[in-house]
Amino acid sequence: MSELINKKVVIIGSGPAGLVCALSCCQNGIEPSDMLIIERESEIGGTLNQCIHSGFGKSYLDEVVTGTELASMLSDGIRQLEIEYITDSTVLSVDKQKRIRVVSPKYGYCTIKAESIVLAMGCREKTKGALQIGGTRPAGVFSAGAVQRIVNIKGYMPGKRTVVLGSGDLAMIVARRLVLEGGRVVCVCEPKPYAEGSDENIKECLDDFDIPLYCSHSVTRILGKGRIEAVEISHVDKRGKIVKGTAKRVKCDSFVYQCGLVPENEIIKDTGIRLDTRTRGAYVNQYFETNVRGIFTCGNAVRIHDLVDYIVEEAQVVGSAVKRYLDNKTEKPERVIRIKNGERILYSVPQHIDVYDDIEDCVIYFRVNGKYKNLLITVKKDGEVIYSREKGSMSWLETGKIQLTRELAEKIGDAKEIVICASEKEDGANIDNNGEDKE
């Protein structure tokens, strides 16, 4: 039979969520020797290790660093505290009894019995299957994340003449990277009428490197038998439909696409953890605890984040919540407040608040379902507005925050449910409402 190991806290995944959570567990008094981090790559740090661009750590470090710098700072912290981690190790399954099956060069095929688990597996990229591009299936077609790893970690180029589909931040950063490595990016196509990424990235990654951005254009066909030889690019109308007969052939030897990220929660299907169809992550309370007591989750496994800063915030909350759970496992909430998504709200996290003695200060994160110019965010209880804040312009790509303060808690009182809403102020014309099924 396989080896059995006992641990108080097992953290699955060593990206920013897993590492910050581990550090936070220690700060809250959990012994490093009671903890184990499981990582499937050869190094801890997760996706940060391939993010050699700057823009990380603002809230955590009070300075902006590159992804790799943040990864090494966090990893150093883990090593200093002597928190055990195993690399090249993959979790095969997790069950209700908090038994984790792992294959690892160190332990072989083993079972770890954990008192509490933190799911910090991050996310994965959606595949080209979701795009349903016609044509052949040659070599030279990559997702943006795969290219980032190939170029930044492995030191290989995917091609010398690349067409990019998708204008999210990742796609733009990868386009720039290819140019910096001596490649040529023929163009970046975006089916929407505007770029998805930040204005800053449009300037710094595309404009400054003379990479053309074609909005309202999509790649509709891939050509080539062995290696990709060309793609066809077609015009897309305002409703997102491809305009037939507009296809133009563009020669290239590589094609990179970005079509969104999905939380990676495949390993928990035997745990009975309930997933939210909107976020594709687990239903959580304000401590990021799932419906299985003692199993927590944070980072992109909960929902796709726009900023690592929010991941850090969550992971710190989880660190203290794990400690509290270990100290008092039988503690049961007195009541539950459901958080419902009202008009224009794509999702909100946490999905409910567990009230123990009192409603403690916490944050409700939310996203809206489109791109708006002038929004008013409200919280309603029985149809009555108990909180409102002007948000101005906002799109589904950014996270909104509502601080659940003592004052708001009092207004919530003993309500069983509250509703988060976003309404447009009169002068704010809606720009686009098609973000619904984005991420």
Partner 1 sequence: MSVTAYDVAIIGAGISGAITAFQLAKYNLKTVVLEAGIDVASGSTRANSAIVHAGYDAKEGTLKAQLNVRGCELMEGVAAQLGVHYSRCGSLVIGYTEKDLKHLKLLMARGEVNGVPGLEIIDEKRLHEMEPKVSQDAKYALWAPSAGIVCPYDLAYALCENAATNGTKFHFEFKVSKIDYDDGYYIVCDGKKKVKAKYVINAAGLFVDEIAGMVGEKLPFDIIPRRGEYMLLDKGEIKTASHTLFVTPSEKGKGILISPTVDGNIIVGPNANVVDSKLDTSVTEEGLEEIAEGAMVIVPSINLDATITTFAGVRATPTSGDFYIQESKKNKRFIHVAGIESPGLASAPAIGEYVLDILKNCGLELTEREDYIPTRTREGNCKLFYEMSEEERVEAIKKDPRYAKIICRCEMVTEGDLINAIHRPIPAHTIDMIKRRTRAGMGRCQGNYCRARIAEVISSECDIPLSEVKKFYSNSNLLYRKTK
Binding site for partner 1 (CB under 8 A): 1-2, 40, 88-90, 92, 103-105, 108-109, 124-125, 127-130, 132, 134-140, 142-143, 145-146, 149-151, 154-160, 181-182, 220-221, 225-227, 242, 253-254, 266
DSSP-based three-state secondary structure for 72: helix
Provide the token pair at 198.
């930040």
Max alpha carbon distance in the chain (Å)? 68
- DSSP for 79-135 reads HHHT-EEE-S-EEEEE-TT-EEEEEETTTEEEEEEEEEEEE---EEEPPGGGT--EE
Give the span between the Cα atoms of 299 and 157, in whole angstroms.
30
Of residues 256 and 404, the one with the C-beta less far from partner 1: 256
CB 56 within 8 A of CB 305: no
Alpha helix segments (H runs only) across 234-392: 308-327
Of residues 79 and 227, the one with the C-beta less far from partner 1: 227
Residue linked to tokens 């800063």: 309
Of residues 41 and 314, the one with the C-beta less far from partner 1: 41
Provide the token pair at 273.
């953890």
- Sequence-ordered list of residues with C-beta below 8 angstroms from that of 61, at least 6 positions apart, any chain: 70, 73
For the bound state, the minimum distance from the C-beta of residue 280 to partner 1, rounded and expressed in Å, comes to 11
For the bound state, the minimum distance from the C-beta of residue 146 to partner 1, rounded and expressed in Å, comes to 5
For the bound state, the minimum distance from the C-beta of residue 401 to partner 1, rounded and expressed in Å, comes to 30
Q: Of the candidates 405, 408, 399, which has an alpha carbon nearest to the alpha carbon of residue 365?
A: 399
Give the span between the Cα atoms of 322 and 53, in whole angstroms.
32
For the bound state, the minimum distance from the C-beta of residue 130 to partner 1, rounded and expressed in Å, comes to 7
Of residues 82 and 88, the one with the C-beta less far from partner 1: 88
Of residues 57 and 299, the one with the C-beta less far from partner 1: 299
Of residues 81 and 146, the one with the C-beta less far from partner 1: 146
Of residues 94 and 422, the one with the C-beta less far from partner 1: 94
For the bound state, the minimum distance from the C-beta of residue 88 to partner 1, rounded and expressed in Å, comes to 6
For the bound state, the minimum distance from the C-beta of residue 182 to partner 1, rounded and expressed in Å, comes to 8
Of residues 171 and 318, the one with the C-beta less far from partner 1: 171
Provide the token pair at 17.
């969520």
For the bound state, the minimum distance from the C-beta of residue 109 to partner 1, rounded and expressed in Å, comes to 5
For the bound state, the minimum distance from the C-beta of residue 218 to partner 1, rounded and expressed in Å, comes to 11
Give the span between the Cα atoms of 398 and 131, in whole angstroms.
23
Radius of gyration of the chain (CA): 23
